Amino acid sequence: MDDKSYGYWVNNPDQQVVLIGHKYHKDFIYHRENGPAWIDYYPDGTVESETWYVHGYLHNTEGPGHIKYHPNGTVAKIQFWYYSCIPEHIPYKHFSDEGILIEEEYTFFITEQNFVPYREDGAAKTFFDPGTGQATYKEYSYHKEGYDHELDSTCFMYDNNKIYKRKTYQKQFKELYPHLQDHRFYKVEIFDIDQNIVDIEYEMLISCYEMSMSESDEVNKVVFQNIEELQNYFILS
What are the tens digits of pLDDT across the range 213-235? 444 444 566 777 767 776 676 65
- The top-scoring range by mean pLDDT among 93-107, 176-190, 196-210 is 93-107
Q: How many CA atoms lie within 13 A of 120 on its CB side?
A: 4
Mean pLDDT of 91-114: 84
What does the pLDDT read at residue 146? 46
- Give CA–CA dist 14/152, Å, rounded: 54
What does the pLDDT read at residue 212? 46
What does the pLDDT read at residue 2? 47
Q: What is the pTM of this model?
A: 0.71
Which of 63, 115, 42 minimizes the C-alpha distance to 51?
63
- Give CA–CA dist 47/132, Å, rounded: 29
Is pLDDT at 1 greater than 50 in this prediction?
no
What does the pLDDT read at residue 215? 45
What DSSP letter does each residue of 49-109 carry, written as one string? EEE-EETTEE--SSS-SEEEE-TTSSEEEEE--BTTB--TTS-EEEE-TTS-EEEEE-EEE
What does the pLDDT read at residue 158? 83
- Give CA–CA dist 144/150, Å, rounded: 10
